[in-house]
Amino acid sequence: MPVIPVNGMRLSYEEAGTGDPVVMIQGTGGGRTVWQLHQVPALTAAGLRVITFDNRGIPPSSECPEGFTLRDMVGDVAGLIERLDLGPCAVVGTSMGAFVAQELALARPDLVGRAVLMATRGRTDFLRAELTRAEIDLYDSGVRFPARYAAVLRALRSLSPRTLDDDTAMADWLDLFELSSAPGPGQRAQMELSRLANRLNAYRDIRVPCQVISFADDLITPPRLGREVADAVPGARYELIEGCGHYGYLEDPAAVNKVLVEFLTRELP
C-alpha cells in the first residue's frame, strides 16, 4: 500500500484497474477499504481505474489530531490527483467525502472531469447541527458505549427499515459494526467538518458535470438536502434510491453501482 506526501501530511492509497481514473472519497470515520467490497469491483469491471485512499484523520494516513478544515481535505485530494497525474478525473464522494468532492469541483475544476455526490448536502439544518454537537460532546466526555450498544445505535441511524427488519442481515451488520474500531482523535477532527456552512449559492458556480445520489431512508442526510444540492449545481442529475439509509452504497450496491457506472462511463456533451 503506497504512502505519499501530500499537502504537508502522509496519505495512504491504493489503485485497481485500468482506464479512466476515478478517485473515491469516504465519509466521516470511513477508510478506503469500505469501497473495496462493492464499488471497486463494479467500476474496474466497467473499465475504470479506481483510486481509493484514507482521508487525513484515518490511519495509516496522518491522523492530524490537532484538527483540520474542509479546505485542508480538498487540498489533500487535489494533491493526490496532481501527484498521480490523474486530472482531470472523476471523483466520487459520500457524506463528508461528498462535501470534499463538491468543494473540489468548485475550487479546482481543472482537476475534476465529473463528480458523484452521494448522501450530500449544501448546508447544515438544525437537527444535523445538533447531532454533530452531540457526537462531539459525547467524544469529548470520554464516555465510551459498550461495543454492542454502539453497534445497535449505528444501525438504527445508518440503515433503512428494510434492512433493520431483516434478522439475518442485521446479525451480520451488527457483528461488522461491533468489530469497527472506536473513533480516535482524527475522527474527532472529522466530526467538526459536519458543521457545514450554507454553500448552496456558491455551488451555483460549479461547472463540472455532477450526479447527486440520495437515499430515501437516510436519517443523517435526508434526500431533501441532497435535492437542494442538485437544484443548485447547474445541470446536475439527481437519483433517489429507495429502501436505503445513509449506507445505501452498501445496502443496495447493485442500484448504486448501476448509477455510478452509467454516469462515469457515458459520453459528456
Catalytic site residues? 95, 218, 246
Q: How far apart are CA 153 and CA 145, in angstroms?
A: 10
Q: How far apart are CA 183 and CA 11, in angstroms?
A: 19
Angle at 35 between CA 109 and CA 172, to 5 degrees: 150
DSSP notation for 154-198? HHHHHS-HHHHT-HHHHHHHHHHHHHSPPP-HHHHHHHGGGS---
Q: How far apart are CA 29 and CA 58, in angstroms?
A: 7
Instruction: Provide the residue count of the chain.
Output: 269
CB 73 within 8 A of CB 56: yes
Q: How far apart are CA 51 and CA 21, in angstroms?
A: 7
Q: How far apart are CA 78 and CA 95, in angstroms?
A: 18
Angstrom CA distances, 1 to 13, 62, 75, 233, stand at: 6, 14, 21, 36
Angle between helices 167-179 and 147-158 (to 10 degrees): 120
